[in-house]
Structure 1
Amino acid sequence: MLDLGLEGRTVLVTGATGAIGRAAARAFAEQGARVALAFRHHREAAEALAAELSGPDGGRAFAVPYALDDAASPRWVVAAVEEHWGGLDVLVAAARQRGARRDPHTRFEDVPEEHWRPLVADGFVPAMRTVQWAVAGMRKRGWGRIALVASPQAPDGAVDGEFHAVARAGLHGLVRGLAGEVGGDGVLINAVCPGPTSPDRPSTPPDRPPASPDRPPTTPEDIARALLFLCSAANGTVTGEALTLGGCR
């Protein structure tokens, strides 16, 4: 059996109450990692998941608030993990903004800036801030893994999904640019780009054809397995990549 080297590692998962974040948190916990669950709205769900993952001895998981629109939140969350466990080894940035598509009946030039600006900002800036604070400690300790949940729309675009694509393209650029700087310090950074996901996105709107009708939707557990490898000691060379899942390109 492949040893992922995650026993005892400390992991921060943002968006931990979403389907992808929840599956990732469980997958890391099953490998013996300690997991901090960053949540935006659903405190009870996050605390219940922390109780589930803590194990009989407790202390292997805890929930922490994470606000996409608060510039200080990423710094505070990373500091909370480092103080609680003495360091942060793995960051999985799975927090995602909602409503990223514009109304298909509204022309691009008619979308007001007060509508598209938060879509772009929430889809990119919080992840970049969190990476900034997380990577500093990883470089000092000489080991770290970072995985961002992005989108295949970043390179390909999508009709009435331009603002989402812009935000996710920023994540791709962050991954590719930062990989060359931090690799010498033992830190690897990648993105995972899932296609239509069930149950997080169980159906395609009736006026929009599925991205790949001959393939089943990617499950959160599929995505979690990809995140596990990219963030493990078994991954010694893969960095700066955007891994597309679900055959959606």
Structure 2
Amino acid sequence: MLDLGLEGRTVLVTGATGAIGSAAARAFAAQGARVALAFRHRREAAEALAAELSGPDRGRAFAVPYALDDAASPRWVVAAVEEYWGGLDVLVAAARRRGARREPHARFEDVPEEHWRPLVVDAFAPAIRTAQWAVAGMRKRGWGRIALVAPPHPPEGGPGGEFHAVARAGLRGLVRGLVGEVGGDGVLINAVCPGLTPSDRSLISPDRLPRSRDRPPTSLDRSPTPPDRPPTPPDRPPTARESSATPKGSMTTPEDIARALVFLCSAANGAITGETLTLAGCR
């Protein structure tokens, strides 16, 4: 049986109340790791998950606030974990801000900055800050694992894909640039680029998706379907379309992504570093 060497390790998962973050937290806890659950708004969900993961041992998980738009938050969160457990071994940076929904037929030049900035800038900078504070202690202790979760991987050429691609390229460049510097100190760093999962917000009916900052409707929200592109038949929900586009006929799940994160961040991984792993079912 493969020994992942995670028993007693300390793990910080940002975005821990999201689908991928919560799946990762459960997967690490199942391997005996202690897990800090960083959340932004969903305190009750984070505390409930901490209680679930701790079981009778209340010291195995705890919830901690984390704000992507607060430059001081990453430092405080890492310090809280190090103070509580004496050190941080693993960082899984799964928190991200989403840009506002872009209509499928909206033109690139019509997309306002407030739609793409949260994805390209406001989610990328916190990942850098959190990794900076986490890696310092890892290097001192001579062991550490960092996994940065990139924005979902949409089909190539899909509307809005350019903004996701910029964010993914930034994380890919970060891990490639750091690998040579921290590898000698026992720290491995990788990025994981998930595909769309069944819970992904982009697969929800557009009528149920919120607009950015409660702004009034604009032409971007009422972009008509071109005459040469018929509307999606009602009997083909988005999840079915995505599933049928993969060779195995099913979508990647948060649990699939969590298992990959656990291996990359385990002692069993002694050589994979500086890589970006795409988990999109060959989509």
- TM-score, normalised via structure 2 length: 0.81
Residue 218 of structure 1 and its aligned partner are, at CA, apart by 0.7
Give the structure 2 partner of residue 210 of structure 1: 242
Map 1:100-249 onto structure 2 (within 5 A). Answer: 101-151=101-151, 153=153, 158-200=158-200, 203=203, 210=242, 212-214=245-247, 215-249=249-283
Partner letter of residue 37 of structure 1?
L
- Structure 2 distance, partners of 1:115, 1:220, is 25
Q: Which amino acid aligns with 2:49?
A: L
Q: Deviations over 1:132-161 (max 9, x none)?
A: 110111011100000111146499564323
Aligned to 1:34: 34
Q: How far did residue 118 of structure 1 move? A: 2.7
Do the aligned partners of 1:101 and 1:163 also contact (CA within 8 Å) in 2? no
Q: Which residue of 1 aligns with 2:61?
A: 61
Cα distance in 1 between the residues matched to 2:45 and 2:52 = 11
CA RMSD of aligned residues (A): 2.3
8 Å CA contact 1:13–1:36 kept in 2: the answer is yes
Q: For the residues of structure 1 that align with 2:47 and 2:2, how far apart are their CA atoms?
A: 31
The CA deviation at 1:88 is: 0.3
Instruction: Please say if residues 93 and 149 of structure 2, whose CA atoms lie closer than 8 Å, have aligned partners that are also in contact.
Output: yes
Give the TM-score, by structure 1 length.
0.92
The question of whether the paired residues in 1 share the 8 Å contact of 2:152 and 2:194 is answered with yes
The answer to whether the 8 A contact 1:151-1:192 is kept is no
Distance in 1 between residues matched to 2:256 and 2:246, nearest whole Å: 18
Q: After alignment, is 149-158 or 27-36 more displaced?
A: 149-158
Tell me by how many angstroms 1:116 deviates: 2.5
Q: How many residues align?
A: 249
State whether residues 78 and 88 of structure 2, in contact with CA within 8 Å, keep that contact through their aligned partners in structure 1.
Answer: yes
Preserved CA contact (<8 Å) 1:152 1:244: no
The Cα offsets for residues 48-82 of structure 1, whole Å up to 9 and x where unpaired, read as 00011112121100000110111111111001001
Report if aligned partners of 2:25, 2:37 keep a CA contact under 8 Å in 1: yes
Distance in 2 separating the partners of 1:139 and 1:39: 26
Long gaps (5+) in structure 2: 206-230, 233-237
1:247, distance to aligned residue in structure 2 (A): 2.5
Runs of 4+ in 1 over 6 A off after TM superposition: none
* Bigger Cα Rg: 2
Q: Return the letter of the residue paired with 1:161.
A: G
Matched-pair contact (CA < 8 Å) for 1:197–1:218: yes
Q: Secondary structure at the match of 2:25?
A: helix
User: Residues of 2 paired with 1:32 and 1:185: CA distance?
Assistant: 24
Any idea what SS the aligned residue of 2:242 has? coil
Out of 27-36 and 156-165, give the one that drifted further. 156-165
Is the partner of 1:170 in helix, strand or coil?
helix
Range that drifts further, 102-111 or 148-157: 148-157
Range moving further from structure 2, 150-159 or 132-141: 150-159
